[in-house]
Homo-oligomer: A and B are copies of this chain.
Amino acid sequence: MNPKIRKAEYAVRGELAIRSEKLKVDLANGASHPFERVVGCNIGNPQALEQKPITFFRQVASLVEYPDLLKDENAELTSKLYASDAIARAKLLLKHIGSVGAYSHSQGIPQIRENVARFISERDGYPADPSMIFLTQGASAGVQLTLQMIVEHSNVGIMIPIPQYPLYTATLAVLDAQPVPYYLDESKGWGLTTEELQRAYDEAAQDGIETRALVIINPGNPTGQCLSDENMCEIIRFCQKNKVILLADEVYQTNIYEPEQRPFHSFKKILKSMGPEFEGLELISFHSVSKGMIGECGRRGGYFECEGLCPTVLEQIYKISSISLCPNVQGQIMVDLMVNPPKKGDPSYLQYKQEYDAIYFSLIKRAKKLEETFNSLEGCTCNSADGAMYLFPHIRLPKKAIAAAKEAGKFPDQFYCMAMLEATGVCMVAGSGFGQVEGTAHFRSTFLPQPEFFDDFCTGIKDFHASFMNKYRD
């Protein structure tokens, strides 16, 4: 068997997640545990925790599945169940697509790519070109494809943040490429400096590694920080100077919780604002329907936009996309809906806005509440989330706990998370799965559990932590 596959690690669905699945089945079969439900905070999967989908999006998706609903003889009944703008959108999509059961263009349905380009140009104030946009089966597939394109041999380095989302290290392991880690500064709200980028780059160069790309996750995962414009300009200058491709993972671009102090700006926008000197920079930006207030994870939809790539490279991206034929069409449709939601005055606008805002404001509230919970725990500190769906608290574990972890053959943070899962049914992911400064311990938790029992969820964590500390306190 391919040894590179053995090397890959993906903690988000690793040992803790597998154990939590087992507990779920046990509970369903009537087994007795100290908790009534398993709460999956290991993964940003809002609808698994009962976040309601956006009605307009689902109405369109439902209509395109069963075009008979759009026939004249069903018009009256259909109009009682579906909003008129959902019906109009479904008709328009089917006009372009034909059938959701047909393979589409390998790069994605042309009219949807046009809508994505329009969305980007309205968001950024700079033009976007549909021929530079590739629809994908979620952002993960786009990242995997892009890294595969870039990694020429096993000495190629890709700069990744630490902590990082483990898709990156896992994909690099499978491709047999070199992760070049740069560290985010926890003491400065998970800040990123170009000095640290240059240190990482230079050290890799000394080791003979040819660094080709820099991954930036903004807003950060698992760390939740949102970059300032100045910081982004510095990063772009760093890429230009060192001739590296910038890979901008911007899937959390609408999960922004401090919009005044920390608004989201895309790297595309910042790059364009810096003038012709930076024209040649190669930038690939990723987006997804799985996050934001949409949370359509099971759909597997997303896109990436290329900037500064030469036509021969684009041709190769098309070819490699075509081997897998096309992204699933419903995922493409959800991208269309994400970039082109109901507008003011549309029949569905009010409901859309209400649903969207309810999720948004509830996320802000839950993020705050969980941050306070973590900061109230003995030995625990937690930066606030400017964005994304996660908190990444730093936990200082007693020596006795560290010794017990060692005995159990686990990292201390894994040991802590497993104890929490067994005691509370809450599944988080140990910081070792994301990378962290050596000798520190963290864990990642989403703040997605349902509002109606979020308080209980926080209390459960507090109680567990107190009893864990009582057991292991030095």
Residues of chain A at the chain B interface (Cβ within 8 Å): 1-3, 5-6, 8, 10, 12-14, 21, 43, 45-48, 50, 53, 55, 58-59, 61-63, 65-69, 74, 77-78, 80-81, 98-106, 137-138, 140-141, 144, 148-152, 167, 170-171, 174, 290, 295-300, 313, 316, 319-320, 322-331
Contacts and interface: CB of A to CB of B under 8 A. Distances in A.
Q: Is the interface of A mostly helix, strand, loop or mixed?
A: helix
A5 B58 contact: no
A106 B316 contact: no
Contacts of A138: 324-325
A446 to B, nearest CB: 12
A302 to B, nearest CB: 11
B297 A101 contact: yes
Contact of A62 (B66, B152, B313): B66
B101 A298 contact: yes
Contact of A3 (B6, B48, B152): B152
B99 A47 contact: yes
Nearest to A86: B66
9 contacts: A14-B319, A21-B105, A69-B81, A101-B295, A101-B297, A137-B328, A144-B324, A299-B328, A299-B330
A350 B369 CA distance: 56
A103 B328 contact: no
A151 B66 CA distance: 42
A324 B300 CA distance: 9
A351 B106 CA distance: 33
Given A102-B297, A298-B103, A170 B62 contact: no
A167 B55 CA distance: 38
A141 B63 contact: no
B174 A320 contact: yes
A5 B148 contact: yes
Contact of A8 (B47, B99, B320): B320
A65 B68 contact: no
Given A137-B324, A299-B329, 12 more contacts: A5-B319, A45-B102, A50-B98, A58-B67, A58-B68, A59-B66, A62-B69, A68-B81, A101-B297, A102-B297, A103-B298, A330-B330
B8 A323 contact: yes
Nearest to A325: B140
Contacts of A6: 316
Contacts of A59: 66
Interface centre among A8, A47, A100, A102 (most CB of B within 10 A): A102
Contact of A65 (B13, B62, B101, B141): B62
A313 B101 contact: no
A287 to B, nearest CB: 16
A93 to B, nearest CB: 12
Nearest to A45: B103
